[in-house]
Amino acid sequence: MKRVLLVDDEPAVLMALQRVLRGALGPDVAVDALSDPLLALAQARRCRYDVVVSDLRMPDLDGVGLLTLMAAVQPQAVRVLLTGSSDFATAQAAINEAGVFRYLCKPWNAHELRAHLQAALEEAVKQARQAAASKKPVPA
């Protein structure tokens, strides 16, 4: 089963994201949602995720910081930043510091959001295949 983690400090946004994604990613995708980035980081230490989607502006730990830490805890997880800001410097930091796969803006278009998350899941599968292939011994 594939797993997606949604992190946003606004419960209404989390519920809206879950509503948009419910069933859209397929029956073999579980979606977890947390409103506290520090709890999300703790959860990631216990549970493997294929995709992590984080809001940018949150108390205690912003989205770039969270996704940077997620990269250390779960380097295989594909990271997506969801934000109400379209600031280029923030997008650049997200890509450079946290290795963000996609930078998505609020408010989102439901169809586009589902397509971006499906692409993130496909990227996770692709990365897993590449990692498995690189571990195979080379024939002599």
What is the model's pTM? 0.90
How far is it, in rounded angstroms, from Cα 98 to Cα 64? 6
CATH topology of domain 2-133: Rossmann fold (3.40.50)
Predicted confidence pLDDT, tens digits, the chain (140 residues):
999 999 999 999 999 999 999 889 989 999 999 999 999 999 999 999 999 999 999 999 999 999 999 999 999 999 999 988 767 777 777 777 788 999 898 999 999 999 999 999 999 999 989 888 887 665 55
